[in-house]
Amino acid sequence: MTIARASSKIRAAPFMIRTCDAHCHFFSSKFFTLLTQSQASAADVTAKLGWDDPGAPEQLADRWVAELDRHGVARSALIASIPGDEDSVATAVLRHPSRFVGYFMFNPTAADALARLSQALDTRAFRVVALFPAMHHYALDDRRVEEVFEEAGARGAVVFVHCGVLSVGVRRKLGLPSPFDLRLGDPIALARTAARYPHVPVIIPHFGAGLFKEALMAADQCANIHLDTSSSNSWMRYHPRLTLADVFRSALDVAGPDRLLFGTDSSFFPRGWQAGIRDVQLQALSDAGAKDDHIAQIMSGNFDRVFQRV
């Protein structure tokens, strides 16, 4: 049975295709405290959201491992989703180093930016620096971004850059302001910097999150740029008549199968790991005519290559 034909049966046989998830958020207790900047406990905030209390980082890490096991997911990224929450993800990654790869959100405009960058990368927990230029208001061809690439290159790290539309669902649910400047998440500007550091792997999530053509152009120019496939890819509504199969077909044509990383954008419980996204993406890959070995690369092979165990 080919992978393509098996995709429609993934719920019945979740272990059929080896899967690694390049985009999961670790919504720790500290994350909610930092996000709301209030005296409310994480339990109070999650109760308001109708979500489970994450508890201690160790407890949440163990719950994620059990969840990944339940769905047959071999390894996963864990993103510290707000600056200052590095310790939570470090605890999880060091507790389960064979299962998790640590990402941390980094703001290069902060006063102590370079010191925090070095401190995070000095640990064994973090492999990826995650940049959100629209959130933190800097251009991707800024000198401070080049300093991130220089540090990443020196330490064998990866740079993740959120481009395009940025919508943080938990902020919206809590009524928190989101003064993002979408002009700053330009893959073309990122390509200018990435081209100067060809040895630094770069990941653009969500196929560019609405700037799909620009993300493809950037990937075409820079062989170090990868695209992650994560989330429901609702940005496609900005491109009438574009299907997910069309997206995969174009991405395979431009970036090739070795620069696409499967992801879900999973984040909180009780929802847990979003198996439905795997199902939809496998069907789209089948509809796009992807070869079985290319599907295997996208679902896990590229993750294992980029994040070789150290």
Residue 85: predicted pLDDT: 97
Residue 16: predicted pLDDT: 80
Domain limits, the chain: 17-306
User: For residues 147 and 273, what is the distance between their CA atoms, to the nearest angstrom?
Assistant: 34
Q: Which residue from 180, 183, 176 is spatially nearest to 140, judged by alpha carbons?
A: 183
User: For residues 261 and 306, what is the distance between their CA atoms, to the nearest angstrom?
Assistant: 10
Residue 39: predicted pLDDT: 85
**Structural tokens at position 279:** 């199902």
- Please, is 105 exposed, middle or buried when counting C-beta atoms within 10 Å of its C-beta (0-12, 13-18, 19+)? buried
Q: Which residue from 262, 225, 85 is spatially nearest to 149, judged by alpha carbons?
A: 225
User: For residues 207 and 233, what is the distance between their CA atoms, to the nearest angstrom?
Assistant: 8
- Determine if the peptide bond prior to 240 is cis (ω within 30°): no
Residue 310: predicted pLDDT: 54
- Give me the tens of pLDDT residue by residue for the chain, a chain 310 residues long: 334 444 444 433 445 899 999 999 999 999 999 999 988 999 999 999 999 999 999 999 999 999 999 999 999 999 999 999 999 999 999 999 999 999 999 999 999 999 999 999 999 999 999 999 999 999 999 999 999 999 999 999 999 999 999 999 999 999 999 999 999 999 999 999 999 999 999 999 999 999 999 999 999 999 999 999 999 999 999 999 999 999 999 999 999 999 999 999 999 999 999 999 999 999 999 999 999 999 999 999 999 999 996 5
User: Inter-axis angle of helices 57-71 and 86-95, to 10 degrees?
Assistant: 50
User: For residues 106 and 47, what is the distance between their CA atoms, to the nearest angstrom?
Assistant: 28
Helix and strand counts by DSSP (H, E) for the chain? 15, 8
Q: Which residue from 131, 137, 146 is spatially nearest to 205, judged by alpha carbons?
A: 131
pTM here is 0.94
All residues at 6 or more sequence positions from 196 whose CB lies less than 8 Å from its CB, including other chains? 146, 149
Other CB atoms closer than 10 Å to residue 37's CB: what's the count? 8
Range 17-306 classified under CATH 3.20.20.210: no
